[in-house]
Structure 1
Amino acid sequence: MESKTTAFLANLLQSCIDNKAYVSGKTLHAHILRIGRFVDTFLSNRLIELYYKCGHINTARHVFDKMPQKNIYSCNAMLAAYCKERKTEDAYQMFVEMPERNEVSWNTLISALVRNGCEHRALDVYYRMNREGFVPTRFTLTSVLSACGALVDVECGKGCHGVATKFGLDKNMYVGNALLSMYAKCGRIEDAIQAFGDLPEPNEVAFTAMIGGLLETDRVEEAYNMFRLMQRFGIQLDPVSLSSVLGVCTRGGAQSDGFACNMNGQQIHGLSIKLGFASDLHLSNSLLDLYAKNGDMDSAEAIFSKLPEPSVVSWNVMIGGYGQKYQTYKAMEYMNRMQNHGFKPDEVTYINMLAACVKSGDIETGRQLFDRMASPSLSSWNTILSGYSQNENHLEALRTFREMQFRNVHADRTTLAIVLSSCAAMGLLEDGKQVHAVSLKALFHTDVYVASGLIGMYSKCNKTEMAKCIFGSMSELDVVCWNSMIAGLALDSFDEEAFTFYKKMLGDGTYPTEFSYATILRSCSKLSSLPRGRQVHAQIIKDGYVDDIFVGTAVIDMYSRCGNVDGARQVFDIMPSKSTVTWNEMIHGYAQNGCGYESVCLYEDMIQSGEKPDDITFVAVLTSCSHSGLVDHGLRIFNSMQKYGSEPLLEHYTCIIDSLGRAGRFQEVEAVLDKMPYNDDPVVWEVLLSSCRVHANVSLAKRAAEELFLLDPQNSAPYVLLANMYSSLGRWDDAKEVRKMMVAKQIIKDPGYSWVEHKNELQASALDDNIKAVGGKS
């Protein structure tokens, strides 16, 4: 009779548990107490389960403490209660106090610790479980492998793999999925593929994990092929697996053919609608992310407008998408709409908005947003610092960095690299030293990213020895460090040493990048060392960079500056694609080497090719026309500038005045002078004065000299040029007057020097006064 009553009450309690009927359960509890059945451990265990599943963990504990007789099931029930409520400390204490434990006890605690981010502690409990002789189950290994993946502890994961194989659990679907997921998260993709192949019947979890693992290791095409394989296997698709493959399409659009990946994404979009997942919020957010990152904001707008209840993630994706397209006003519009709909901007919202402002150059609005943040994260600080640095507001970047320190926000490697870049740009050695001190204190000075910034900062502040000292102290060097050191030496005109470091980099087994080649080619140019330039060119061909526009342009510049303009043209002709900079370098190369006609012909080829000339193009071709006497060609090109959207600048006017002046066409010079907007620049008048001296145009020379006396009163050049001109014409009194003016105004002519190379050393000797009066420095 008693057993029937107990069974009846247990069934009623189980019904209350299943339906979470808290009030009915309490009534049953009172009845059990009244009839004296609380001593029944089985019923008391059901009461504990009832209370914790109804969210009343304190009541469950009260029942546990009042139980006259507890067994292992009572302890496991209370342990499960603490784990369900994420009270990991209470759960751990409960576990420690248990008089005995079984596999359920160990698995419950390990699983809860992993779910709550306590992976290290979970592994400690697992090791203790092994020491106490308990055999791991599939539940144990699944949780432990998840912890290994989260900690990127591949050695522990491999140990668990061995245990799974020993007990025949490696073929278990749950353990197998956990194994391949662990290997994928640890970057051991080949091991993950092996684990996937060992699964007798991979399910959607296995395929999704493989897709994610391949994506994380940038094997985008293989990830998409895995999705196709999943379909061929007839695996049922769900919103999670579709979201994973949308991540593949998104990553593919950022890395390769964005149009093709967008098309794949549209196919997945269609499939999700066909399968009835169109209303799934997580999948819809993945679709939003795909279209936003591929720049298709019209499609993103269409999806967003159909969301029944957008989440904060949905709003953030739209804000980030418009920010990526430099449409700050649209990003701001979405942020305002987000707040109007009752959503509070989170950290991601502000970072996306800050990034939008930085990309569009609207740093002022970005700062206003930043100031609205109650407690900006490190990412937010780095974003605003990057904005100031990119917009060349380096002083404000340094002020913000100091503010960051005052607010006790600890810098990371990104922070220090940005601030060092600003110090380098302004040549602020003392500020750079302070940042160096911060990096030492934070133990970031050996980080290759920060070390590269330090090398660059000291190099730009002419402290090459300090830069070399930092470089030499690095235990590991990457290509960025090598590039920074080579660029620093080149910047400080240590081009021989730069080339030595370049050879050391090759000897170290570090592969040069585009930046490496462009830097060392500039050093070859400054050394006028064609043999070295050819060596570098050969290495470029060997490494497969010959078709790179950036590198190819640097090669053209090197050959041109070393006087081998035909070699430069050969490189130019075989380049598969050319930028405006490439055309400019070749045109300028012809100008440097006195090939004016070829320069003009190449300019015309550029126009015919459809490439739009810029301001630098016109400077190069007009300079070439000036030096080669192609005056009419130069005038025609100068007059056509506005047709190509370029307004003539000072440099262009200087070139055309120089060209007309060299040809003695001074009436046209005066016409240009009368209409040009740069009459207050001394360079124009110096060029004109030199031409007047050659052609003995006294009246215009006098006008040019008088302008220079006003614009640059302490410059001795116009006085000397004018005096020498009078002397060559025999107008000694006028020459004497000019020299008297120099004495009266206390204008001193710098002594001239002649540089002579003797025994590998440069020696200077002063020129005599007569030569000095005519020539200046030689």
Structure 2
Amino acid sequence: MESNISNLANLLQSCISKKAHLAGKILHARIFRLWLSSDTFLSNHLIELYAKCDNITNAYQVFSKIPQRNIYSWNAILGAYCIHRNLQDAYGLFQQMPERNTVSWNTMISTMIRNGYEMEALDIYDSMMLEGVRPSYITLTSVLSACSALLDAEYGRRSHGFVIKVGLDRNMFVVNALLSMYSKCGLTRDAIHVFRDIPDPNEVTFTVMMSELARTNHLREAADMFKLMLRKGLHIDSVSLSSILGVCTKGGFGEIGLSRHNDGFSFNVPGEELHGLSIKLGFETDLHLSNSLLDMYAKNGDMDNAEKIFVNMPKLSPVSWNIMIAGYGNKYESDKAVEYLSRMQCYGVEVDNVTYINMLAACVKSGDIKTGRQIFDCMSCPSLTSWNAILSGYMQNADYKEALKLFREMQFQHLRPDRTTLAIILSSCAEMRLLDTGKQVHVASQKFGFHDDVYVASGLINVYSKCGKMELAKYVFYKLPELDVVCWNSMIVGFSINSLDKEAFSFFKQMRQFGFFPSEFSYATILSTCAKVSSLFQGQQIHAQIAKEGYVDDIVVGSSIIEMYCKCGDVGEARCFFYMMPGKNTVTWNEMIHGYAQNGRGDEAVCLYEDMIESGEKPDDITFVAVLTACSHSALVDEGVEIFNSMYQKHGIVPMLDHYTCIIDCLGRAGRFHEAEVILDQMPYKDDPVVWEVVLSSCRIHANLGLAKRAAEELFRLDPQNSAAYVLLANMYSSLGRWDDARAIRDLMIDKQVRKDTGYSWSECRDGMQIMLENDNHPVASSEVN
């Protein structure tokens, strides 16, 4: 009899290992015929077999018919319920158990953790300790895993103490769990301390440590860990390589060299060398490692190498496709991303939420908002990240109206916005000057608990500033419990755009007094304010601060310094600074060219434009506005015509309104009206009043009455309340002695109630005082900006 039981048990164990459900049922029938159904030992095996073969009903039937259940019977059926995630029944069964051993507690704790009930798992562990059951290394590994998931460092530290007390601080499973717990809780030093206390760490320990250091962006430490692993001659497996490739992806090695001389490996370019090492070690077919290599190349923008790996992979997963789509998205190649999406669907690979998010991000980054919206509409249940991505796309494409419309739809779906959502919508409100909508978003931000969020507050300040409500902007600013540089910058920008220059300078000084160090944007903003009010004295002081704090080489700040000096009339200082700058971009060149243009130094502006072309810097539409303005103001007509014609022919830039205005002004000032009229008849901006104002002004200088009348008629049609057309035409009649015509124009102004705009002039005193004089006998107004 004992021999039969032993043989049947061995056969059942083989069925369990192979999940051979049919063979197991045949054995069950044989056990029944041999009258061995009541044997507890065989019944326990049958429960385990049915559990492994997803037949929980039969497992429970076997359990219910055991006349003498032992602890193994209870653990077997408990394990069956846990395998099938029948947590409620499992917990009820656990409570009914006449006795429980460490296996019972471990089964329940690990099952709760696997199903996301970490807090409940720790409660069960506490009950286990109260009952005096000694935990095993499996128990403590599970408990530390729960602490990691909950980021509960305090509970984790207590558990660490118990680990040391029971002598499990050398158990590699427990040690690895401790490393993971401390790293995920952001306690990297504690993790390193645990690692250093391990007498003989293995490759698993090193891999866990590297993974956690990389995950928490301690990239240099992760790289050092890999070098130490190599020096110790430990086995390098695919998991280790995947972990260190994550460090390469984030740029963790930089210029650090790696070497493993005894194996002949020399790592000078870590990512590519690790790729070579993976091939040498025979991991070409490892899917996880191949995906890590794909990710490394894709995130570093090397899509050519990513393509080579992709096409040679023997097996592809949805992760592989998603990495390629995200990689092309990061390179702003939405067409390639769409191609991969189509191929993915053709191969029958299921498109998941990650695919849609990556595809949406690719379209948004590439500016292809139309395709992005189609992708978004295909998503059955878009996540908040997806909503933010499409909203951001509309905002970046200046389609603020559609962004607001989509935000309302998001509210109808009762999806709670986050700080990013609110910031995007507030930016759209600011650009459209929608004060009431901005106020509604303000109320919504308070409702959702963002009343003290500096990110949202900056957006609110921006809305109120652009709507001219600086008192409301100050209210938001002063209500914040904690401030940051961004909020200060928002206020300074707000004062500047509302011509409250004294307040802008005051806030800039207060920001420094409160211990906030100005950022590049802070300096660029305050320099623009100096430029706007032509305050050279203030600008020189700010320049000195910039030099002292080391921002003088920043391109954005440098461009603002050039703008400030040029607008304050000190072109020589601007030029000196320009040539001293170690790095220049298109904006920098544009500022200097525009500076020459503003100060009547057209020849130098054209020469600098030619230098820019020779340097390889690509001009943009603003470059051409600057250089054409210079040609216009300095009577460089032929040069201006040549540059205008080269815009599209040589540089592929289609002329816009400002370019047409500049070239027409240039031709008009020189009296070349025939050429100007040819351009007027051909250009697509005939209904813009600015162009006709320029034409009328030039006609007055050269007494071209015929074209002047045409220009004036266009202006009367397009902008009947603009006084410029009436005044210019009346003055032209007066200069020609046609007093009756001049009087008729002035009478027309009176009939249409057109009011002449007031003119102003500025001057700066040594003490920084700005004097503003009006030309219509109004009182003198002054404001101190120093």
TM-score (norm. length: structure 1): 0.88
1:67 partner SS: coil
1:123-168 deviation per Cα after TM superposition (whole angstroms, max 9, x unaligned): 2222333333334332222111111112222222222222222223
Cα pair distance change 1:703/1:508, threshold 3 Å: same
1:389-414 deviation per Cα after TM superposition (whole angstroms, max 9, x unaligned): 21111111111122222223332222
* Residue equivalent to 1:54: 53
Cα pair distance change 1:504/1:200, threshold 3 Å: farther
1:55 partner SS: coil
Q: For residue 284 of structure 2, what is the amino acid of its counterpart? A: A
Q: For residue 726 of structure 2, what is the amino acid of its counterpart? A: Y
Is contact 1:322-1:330 (8 Å) kept? Answer: yes
1:227 maps to 2:200: no
1:481 maps to 2:487: yes
Q: What is the aligned counterpart of 2:282 among 270, 276, 281? A: 276
The whole-number CA distance in structure 2 between the counterparts of 1:379 and 1:402 is 16
Deviation at residue 256 of structure 1 after TM alignment: 10
Q: What is the aligned counterpart of 1:614 among 614, 620, 627? A: 620
* Residue equivalent to 1:323: 329
The root-mean-square deviation of aligned C-alpha atoms, in Å, is 3.4
* Residue equivalent to 2:362: 356
Deviation at residue 379 of structure 1 after TM alignment: 2.4
The whole-number CA distance in structure 2 between the counterparts of 1:752 and 1:323 is 52
The whole-number CA distance in structure 2 between the counterparts of 1:638 and 1:303 is 48
Is contact 2:267-2:273 (8 Å) kept? Answer: no
Identity %: 62
Cα pair distance change 1:122/1:476, threshold 3 Å: farther
Q: What is the aligned counterpart of 1:732 among 735, 739, 745? A: 739
1:410-465 deviation per Cα after TM superposition (whole angstroms, max 9, x unaligned): 32222222222212211122222232333222223333332322222222222222
Unaligned runs of 5+ in 1: 769-778
1:734-761 deviation per Cα after TM superposition (whole angstroms, max 9, x unaligned): 4345445556x63634375778999999
* Residue equivalent to 1:115: 114
Cα pair distance change 1:432/1:704, threshold 3 Å: closer
Deviation at residue 681 of structure 1 after TM alignment: 4.3
Is contact 1:119-1:150 (8 Å) kept? Answer: yes
1:538-597 deviation per Cα after TM superposition (whole angstroms, max 9, x unaligned): 443344332221121122222333333333233322211101110111222233344444
The whole-number CA distance in structure 1 between the counterparts of 2:292 and 2:421 is 30
Is contact 2:220-2:253 (8 Å) kept? Answer: no
Q: Which one is further off, 189-198 or 487-496?
A: 487-496
Query: After superposition, where does 1:544-555 map in structure 2 within 5 Å?
Result: 544-555=550-561
* Residue equivalent to 1:389: 395
Q: Which one is further off, 64-73 or 699-708?
A: 699-708
Q: Which one is further off, 288-297 or 722-731?
A: 722-731
The whole-number CA distance in structure 2 between the counterparts of 1:714 and 1:491 is 25
Cα pair distance change 1:739/1:485, threshold 3 Å: closer
Deviation at residue 10 of structure 1 after TM alignment: 4.3
Cα pair distance change 1:223/1:495, threshold 3 Å: farther
Deviation at residue 671 of structure 1 after TM alignment: 2.7
The whole-number CA distance in structure 1 between the counterparts of 2:738 and 2:492 is 55
* Residue equivalent to 1:89: 88
Unaligned runs of 5+ in 2: 257-265, 779-786
The whole-number CA distance in structure 2 between the counterparts of 1:26 and 1:8 is 16
Deviation at residue 8 of structure 1 after TM alignment: 5.4
* Residue equivalent to 2:457: 451
* Residue equivalent to 1:367: 373
* Residue equivalent to 2:784: none
* Residue equivalent to 1:569: 575
Q: What is the aligned counterpart of 2:727 among 720, 726, 742? A: 720
* Residue equivalent to 1:210: 209
Cα pair distance change 1:57/1:421, threshold 3 Å: same
Query: After superposition, where does 1:225-304 map in structure 2 within 5 Å?
Result: 225-252=224-251, 263-304=269-310
Q: For residue 486 of structure 2, what is the amino acid of its counterpart? A: V
Is contact 1:262-1:291 (8 Å) kept? Answer: no
Deviation at residue 653 of structure 1 after TM alignment: 4.5
1:669-727 deviation per Cα after TM superposition (whole angstroms, max 9, x unaligned): 43333344346544344334434444555566556545545554444433333333443
* Residue equivalent to 1:624: 630
* Residue equivalent to 1:103: 102
* Residue equivalent to 1:422: 428
1:305 maps to 2:311: yes
Deviation at residue 174 of structure 1 after TM alignment: 1.4
The whole-number CA distance in structure 2 between the counterparts of 1:310 and 1:298 is 18
* Residue equivalent to 1:471: 477
Is contact 1:514-1:550 (8 Å) kept? Answer: yes
Is contact 1:495-1:526 (8 Å) kept? Answer: no
The whole-number CA distance in structure 1 between the counterparts of 2:498 and 2:762 is 23
The whole-number CA distance in structure 1 between the counterparts of 2:415 and 2:498 is 35
Q: Which one is further off, 752-761 or 164-173?
A: 752-761
Is contact 2:631-2:666 (8 Å) kept? Answer: yes
Cα pair distance change 1:503/1:212, threshold 3 Å: farther
Cα pair distance change 1:429/1:711, threshold 3 Å: closer
Cα pair distance change 1:506/1:349, threshold 3 Å: same
1:671 maps to 2:669: no
1:278-304 deviation per Cα after TM superposition (whole angstroms, max 9, x unaligned): 112222222222232233333333322
The whole-number CA distance in structure 2 between the counterparts of 1:63 and 1:727 is 114
The whole-number CA distance in structure 2 between the counterparts of 1:761 and 1:630 is 35
Deviation at residue 315 of structure 1 after TM alignment: 2.0
Cα pair distance change 1:202/1:485, threshold 3 Å: farther
The whole-number CA distance in structure 2 between the counterparts of 1:164 and 1:44 is 37
* Residue equivalent to 2:351: 345
Cα pair distance change 1:7/1:261, threshold 3 Å: closer
The whole-number CA distance in structure 2 between the counterparts of 1:453 and 1:304 is 43
Q: For residue 457 of structure 1, what is the amino acid of its counterpart? A: V
* Residue equivalent to 2:694: 687
Q: Which one is further off, 590-599 or 68-77?
A: 590-599
* Residue equivalent to 2:783: none
* Residue equivalent to 2:447: 441
Cα pair distance change 1:621/1:23, threshold 3 Å: closer
* Residue equivalent to 1:776: none
* Residue equivalent to 2:260: none
The whole-number CA distance in structure 1 between the counterparts of 2:18 and 2:697 is 100
The whole-number CA distance in structure 2 between the counterparts of 1:301 and 1:181 is 34
Q: For residue 406 of structure 2, what is the amino acid of its counterpart? A: T
Q: What is the aligned counterpart of 1:524 among 527, 530, 535? A: 530
Cα pair distance change 1:494/1:582, threshold 3 Å: same
1:252 partner SS: coil
Is contact 2:203-2:236 (8 Å) kept? Answer: yes
Q: Which one is further off, 170-179 or 526-535?
A: 526-535
Cα pair distance change 1:751/1:563, threshold 3 Å: closer
Is contact 2:184-2:216 (8 Å) kept? Answer: no
Q: For residue 141 of structure 1, what is the amino acid of its counterpart? A: L
* Residue equivalent to 1:379: 385
Q: For residue 591 of structure 1, what is the amino acid of its counterpart? A: A
The whole-number CA distance in structure 2 between the counterparts of 1:55 and 1:315 is 32
The whole-number CA distance in structure 1 between the counterparts of 2:695 and 2:291 is 66
The whole-number CA distance in structure 1 between the counterparts of 2:39 and 2:122 is 36
The whole-number CA distance in structure 2 between the counterparts of 1:623 and 1:219 is 52
* Residue equivalent to 1:771: none
Query: After superposition, where does 1:122-271 map in structure 2 within 5 Å?
Result: 122-252=121-251, 263-271=269-277
The whole-number CA distance in structure 2 between the counterparts of 1:463 and 1:290 is 48
Q: For residue 508 of structure 2, what is the amino acid of its counterpart? A: Y
Deviation at residue 514 of structure 1 after TM alignment: 2.6
Q: For residue 398 of structure 1, what is the amino acid of its counterpart? A: L
Q: For residue 677 of structure 2, what is the amino acid of its counterpart? A: L
Cα pair distance change 1:141/1:537, threshold 3 Å: farther
Deviation at residue 37 of structure 1 after TM alignment: 5.0
1:211 partner SS: helix
The whole-number CA distance in structure 2 between the counterparts of 1:132 and 1:216 is 38
